[in-house]
Chains A and B, each alone.
Chain A
Amino acid sequence: MESITPILEFKKTCVSYTKQTMAVKYVSAAIEKNTITAIMGPSGCGKSTLLRAVNLMHNLYSNIRVEGEILLNSENILSMEPMDVRRKVGMVFQRPTPFPTMSIYDNVLAGFALNGIKLSKAEKDATVERCLKSVALWDEVKDVLNKKGTFLSGGQQQRLCIARALAMKPDVLLMDEPTSALDPIATKHIEELLLELQKEVTILIVTHNMGQAMRISSKSMFMYLGELVEYGDTATMFSNPIDERTMAYLTGKMG
């Protein structure tokens, strides 16, 4: 057994919206570097809630409490400054969220502007080109960089949002059903892109689509009613699930 220090580790992580009920219950799991991990489960099982705990999105809402530990490079992010955490952990949302008043160019650089980091023109140009190339959007938009990001199609917008997150060179990229608002072709593009991107960044993706989890992830989590029911190699889980609830979900009897 080789022991690699995981890049991200949940240790008895709990999230609660009210005092009585927990949305995420004692989740423990270690995520390896440069992998894609899919989080699956029926609606309301706490997938997104768990994901949003990683970049401290829950801090925005005073009623939500996160307990336990979440380690990023062995440091507990729950005691870190949210802004520092969010610079290391990027996020892509369900619906594309390009900033409507910014051009495509400025959208890619929004992370720097929002962090008050000044770049020279050459650095800006290089960053924009690098990030748009890494999401395979460069050829499509290189002549319209000054147009608003909202002019792009849904799939292009979502790739722009991925580029924007990558510009900050995060360690981990969180994706909350990033293709559920997209058509099958745009979805395919994003999936191919993610497989490519895992060389640079560790990806944690919430998905409703089992086919998607099978196509892109190496590890999968199955959550049910806030519990992490099963976590392991995607191939093993799909062919030979240990827990009967996982089996029921994968075969469509539940979900």
Chain B
Amino acid sequence: MIKKRLAKDKIIFWSICILAILTAVPLLAILGEVFFRGYDQLTWSFFTEPTPTAYKAMKAIEAGEPIPGGIANGIIGTILMLGMAAVVAIPMGILCGAFLAENSKNRFAQTVSYLTDLLQGTPSVIIGIITYVWVVVPMKGYSAIAGSVALCIMMMPLIIRSTEETLKILPASLKEAGLALGGNRARVMMKVQLPAAFGGIFTGVLLAISRVIGETAPLMFTALGCSLIRWSIDKPMSAVPLLIWEFFNDPNLQDLIWGASLFLLLFVLVLNITAKYIAKKWNQ
């Protein structure tokens, strides 16, 4: 009898191990594929120079040289647009999440919470077209501002949700202890609850950033893309995922696809590892 149980235990243990390995396989395969195809493109000029024109690239290919130029215009665009989106989305998302967590029995808060879920599930292409109508049309042109609005809308629900969920799992005694000292709700939220929830909120913010950093569809309708290094936010701007799409569509630039993809992948990876590290530091 005991032998049978032990055998069963072994079978289950090994099936779990195999399934776990199976889950890791695609991830490792993706990382490996992108790395081996892209690593030799990651030179200094790749990060400092803008996208080459198709003509220059063609010339280089004909001469048997590597394609000149890089993705600096995309990196700057991604960082600028993401930065602008984050500056708005993080404080608004956290405040909204705090409101939802504090008023979970309020009908209005419940509705907002439900709408947040819907927003989170809205396809990004729809966010793109909506931002086009709301921002690009009134501003009479594509711009980095429009791009960041689209990214902001996409980040918000993730930040709201993670803030709300993290605040809700804090022990009620923490909030009560703060209020019992005579603090008002806003101060207890700012000085006790939000700091205690920092780890979860921070992870949520980083998750939101890694989620939208690769978004291509909404940027096509809003930021459009640009082959120059540009800092003016009222003009069209490029982004790394937009460049990957452009490279894919231009036979002369296809060699740059893998470098750009690898950069994006590494960026998200570093972001995630940093997030884990900071959250751990904060919580100890």
Contact = CB atoms under 8 A, between A and B. Distances in A.
Interface of A: 55, 57, 60, 62, 82-84, 86-87, 90-91, 93-95, 97, 99-102, 110-111, 113-116, 161, 164-165, 168
A131 B136 CA distance: 60
B62 to A, nearest CB: 61
Contact of A99 (B180, B187, B196, B282): B196
A101 B178 contact: no
Given A95-B173, A113-B191, A116-B187, A101 B198 contact: yes
Contacts of B138: none
Interface in B187-232: 187-188, 191-192, 195-196, 198
A115 B183 contact: yes
Contacts of B173: 93-95, 97
B181 interface: yes
Nearest to B284: A148
Contacts of A102: 195
Given A55-B180, A57-B176, A91-B177, 10 more contacts: A83-B182, A86-B182, A90-B180, A91-B180, A95-B173, A97-B176, A99-B177, A99-B192, A114-B188, A161-B177
Interface residues of B, number: 21
Best-buried of B177, B178, B179, B198 by chain A (most CB within 10 Å): B177
A83 B188 CA distance: 12
B249 interface: no
A86 B179 contact: yes
Nearest to B184: A83
Best-buried of B177, B182, B187, B195 by chain A (most CB within 10 Å): B182
A99 B184 CA distance: 16
15 contacts: A57-B179, A83-B182, A86-B181, A86-B182, A87-B181, A91-B180, A93-B173, A97-B176, A99-B177, A100-B196, A101-B192, A110-B178, A114-B187, A114-B192, A116-B187
Given A93-B173, A99-B192, A114 B181 contact: yes
Contacts of B180: 55, 57, 86, 90-91, 93, 165
3 pairs of A and B residues whose beta carbons are closest in the complex: A114-B183, A87-B182, A101-B195
B105 interface: yes
